[in-house]
Amino acid sequence: MKQLLTICSFLFLLLICCCTACTKKELNTTRAFYYWKSTETKLSTPEQEALQQLQTAKLYVKFFEVEPDSVQKAIATVKTQLHIHSVAIPKEIVPTIFIRNELWKNVDVAFCTALSEKIIRLCEAMHKAHFPNTTYEELQIDCDWTPSTKELYFELLKALKAKSKKRISCTLRLYPYKYPHKMGVPPVDRAMLMCYNLIGPLENLNKNSILDLTELKPYLNNKKAYPLPLDIALPIFFWLHLYQNERFVGLITPKDSSIKNLLTQKSELWYQFNCDTVIGDYYLRKGDRAKYEKISAALLQDAIKILRKNLIFKDDYTIALFHLEEANLKQYHHETINNFFTAFNF
């Protein structure tokens, strides 16, 4: 009899486990892009086609930047001048505000309150003017805060949450993700984990500063839950670091990848100009060097595997690609970009 009860108890527990597994919530993925251009007034045809064919539901649009002036007042420089009423525009627009960390020097809580009101007014006006047929439910703040600036930055986030009545999100670099006890946890509804630009562009000349797996892995070497629901931002952009006489002179983002016709590859990342040319404000001579940093589909898929293995998603989440630009899109087939999104399906 005792043995029978033991067997029954085991079967009962097994049934509970099976039921729990069957009723486990299936998480949904929202597809998104960042739109980070400052001067364009309309989407190109390839950009519109990408939004439609990739079933993009959300667009994070940089509305403006906030920079400190000489008397430590906030100057909101409105750079986005979009007048887009295309059917290709996703239904949800997320105004994204870039704030330089230097802003928090010599300011106080009252300043944060005033700044929050200014941000809210500008976002509402710009959304109404430029995206009248879309919803505006979320406001995102992009700022690389530090331990010394987090207190005031967090005050701004609290004020935005209280006054805007919107869902507030913020960008989250990998260092504050791994060390929340040092960096603090921002008082927002969600955090967008930025999985690129892990090292400074000039820090290591032999590594891809946009995305390098040896730099990524140490931040994601154990599976743990972050205190906030996470979304993920992945890079699809490319750029060139220009060198003359072995001295760094500037960084450019070409309009298309045809610039490679002017370059001769010398190593994995390094190229040499094979003729004199002018690119933007730079006059480059034959023999000048360029560090060409781009993201291959294989590299990004390897990064996604690391993220999937180590991140814990608490609820439905967004995968956002940085950023929507015709030149970036031309690097991949639509099917390849689609695979970046589907790779996160659990």
Which of 275, 292, 309 terminates a domain? The answer is 292
Rounded distance, CA 77 to CA 122, Å? 11
Split into its structural domains, the chain has a count of 2
Say whether both 56 and 184 belong to one domain. yes
pLDDT confidence band for 253 (50 / 70 / 90)? confident
Residue 262 belongs to domain spanning: 239-292
Looking up residue 45, the CATH number of its domain turns out to be 3.20.20.80
149-176 pLDDT per residue, tens: 999 999 999 999 999 999 999 999 999 9
Are 321 and 29 in contact, with CB atoms under 8 Å apart? no
223-248 pLDDT per residue, tens: 889 999 999 999 999 999 999 999 99
Domain assignment present for 80: yes
Rounded distance, CA 311 to CA 230, Å? 9
pTM for the complete prediction? Answer: 0.90
Calculate what percentage of the chain has a pLDDT beyond 70. Answer: 86
Are 322 and 236 in contact, with CB atoms under 8 Å apart? yes
Q: What is the DSSP string of 55-113?
A: T--EEEEEEEEEEE-TTS-EEEEE--------TTS-SEEEEEEEE-GGGGTT--HHHHH
Most confident of 39-53, 123-137, 174-188: 174-188
Say whether both 123 and 260 belong to one domain. no
Say whether both 253 and 164 belong to one domain. no
Domain assignment present for 10: no
Say whether both 82 and 166 belong to one domain. yes
Say whether both 93 and 226 belong to one domain. yes
Rounded distance, CA 196 to CA 208, Å? 10
Say whether both 219 and 304 belong to one domain. yes
Are 232 and 344 in contact, with CB atoms under 8 Å apart? yes
Say whether both 68 and 157 belong to one domain. yes
Roughly what angle, to the nearest 10 degrees, separates helices 150-164 and 109-130? 50
Say whether both 230 and 243 belong to one domain. no
pLDDT for 81 beyond 70: no
Most confident of 136-140, 222-226, 314-318: 136-140
Are 153 and 184 in contact, with CB atoms under 8 Å apart? no
Least confident of 85-89, 214-218, 254-258, 293-297: 85-89
Rounded distance, CA 288 to CA 273, Å? 6
Say whether both 151 and 36 belong to one domain. yes
Which of the pair, 212 or 345, is modelled with greater confidence? 212
Say whether both 156 and 276 belong to one domain. no
Say whether both 83 and 137 belong to one domain. yes
